[in-house]
Structure 1
């Protein structure tokens, strides 16, 4: 901590500085001032925790300084020094909140004892403030999480009584929305690349929420009415009161400005749909699903679009996809190895997705699931795992990662290229990655429970199938390989270390050293100890 000494007599300041035990109280800097004005300047410039000041000084007194400190820096502790023992000064010092009052000349022991008491009080108050800050942060975080969870539940159709909703809104310090017209804004971040993870999307959506709050509520003193959540498709859903929308959003450039801000700071486009107006008391899930359907129909795979359900033209009639179902099928082309024809067919499919009647999220998902189905089928027939080729496994679990046709096209063609390279390799080379996984696992886990069961769990293959596959590709059984690796490791340790036989036995996975010794003798005709002696002779 930093300490400020104030006295108009410099020899007093020097005396105090010389006799204060800095190390005992963690004092980093002692600053000296000869007047109240100098002291105030130091308080403004430095972070002061403790002030020791004389009372009787020209121009302004220590009591006046104390009053200013109490008003502007209430956490600062003040110890007053005075050469006058009148009770009047002590009364005034206590009234102004002085930590302690010492009579001059104060002995060094007395000064240090008083500083120690002040130091302990400062530490205790700092700890309390820290704990309070952590508690407040936890409350705020929990408060935001509960707000998001409630809105998510309402959008997903969970039923609450009117009174239950009202009670929760009051508890969460939200406006009385139960009878208020509202609108729902749906925001979709776009241009996600294939390396994006769920964590990346959550962070980006968190940034998007902050930007939306600043753009919509930036000049509003009370932001408590800002209420949002993320839906299952990682779209940002925001509730706006109708009066707020009419006064601040409709006819303004706020949503376009939000798009520009997102492009500038996140490097991504965002599409926005504004729902029709509806009373909050009505089913929010109906409004949400209606808005989501309109989003997919009107915006679909477009980017950087803004749509309002009130004034938009009727959505174009949706037409079924044709290209992807025309023969030959994707699966037939892959099975026959017609990769150029397959690429041409997919390009036709993606061009159809860009047409006016097929540019919806539902059509995009239809193509995504069709491609995944065909790839999964042919991969399993070839003894491959689609997850090994897909890169980011999140894309196999949630097709809604794909916001645009361009994203799906890039991912699909890249995946087909990887699959083509794998399937065109000779069978032994194509499956050698499994053998490599087995060898790596055995080498890294030799001291542990390396068995057919643990290895099969590691490579996600049935033990019987794994055993046959390994024998077919390597010409030896898996147990023979494991035993050979153990013996080779034992030979190395016997030659190059001073480890005991028991330690070597444990290091290569044998719990019973007698079995290790017996097995070693079968291979070399001598015990491990005899082998070591022969090598060292």
Structure 2
């Protein structure tokens, strides 16, 4: 569907086009109206506009000037120019502005429909080209380092990526890594020189370290560089000779020793040329898949924390085993997106699905662990409290007496009461915020209808109504249509025609007086709209009544 803006200082012409053209058949679902170029430019900055139909000669800013400003903001918007003058200069300027059509006023409905259809087709083709595979591939090539880094970040963060998706991304992002390749990880932590490791200097420093690492490692290894949330550099490597696990232990030892030597060289070169001290950890080799990368990262981070602490310029081999092998965390509780992130996005179903996974893991792995049960309870109640506080409330206001379980040590010692509390509280929260959303929307509808009733005798544009109730016009338009089944423009039109019919039946006002009372300066325009609604002219309606 498309959005159109009509711009003309002659209000009745704007209203006529807005009300009488067959927008539905043109796949136009949103029509904006502006009675000056200045107003149109203001509207354009706050609304999505695909096509502009504008007069050229207007007081103040001309249509040509308007399109010049529009072109600075958007090259995709299609323009149709109208003018009562047939001078060649206007046509030349229209061509220079890449206008779809240049029509002489008064343009017929057929001419306008034809021009709008052409604009829609050009718009469709343009965006299809933007979304085409060739364009997408070209864009990907231009942003490969960032895309590669983001993919590695997703893997070490535990984002749920299927093997099929990971395999396709590795290929699409031109990475030499494949599933089950033998890989190793280098974790690099900068330890010194805070003046150069913060602010605007940090990206330059990271770039320099990456360049040195690639120069040292790339002769023998394929390199994949990224960063973690702590601003530490993560480098994944794969031996160029073979991506498979070495058969002979001696070969494996050679590969490991070579990598450790290269990592030590990296540490030394960074110190020599960048005047920076870094700690480097080299992991053991592992078969690459979507879970192994995260496990290797977490293990490496743990080893670096335990062995390096706050030390500087330390080198740690992956062969040095961590102080503990088995972790006892509830994995599904800490996999991204985290619980509060589901709440931020309003994804209640996904939030509930994650809770089911957490309790399944808790029941299967840690049913007898009071600490793990309490960990889940506090994590979930923390997410609930976050939601309450973010909306200016206290948790007890939302869940009432159920909050008492948080302070009942006996109840926290078994899974069943905790699980029951979590899902009961979730239902209360969902009900509260769903009802609150419906109440807010109902209030919006009432404000719109009250404003329209109060100012029915004036011109009522979507922009003016949205400004009066302090909402974005696009959001307001969609909410109103969603809740009432008709657009604001249709609602205003229907009320005006109903008011005209009432006045024709119950008053002695002249038709031009009725038109003026409804904000129409041109009685013929009222007659055209009235015939569309009642299949007869105002005079015929009055005679029949």
Q: TM-score range by the shorter chain?
A: 0.3 to 0.5
Higher relative contact order (CA 8 A, sep 6+): 2
Larger radius of gyration between Structure 1 and Structure 2? 1
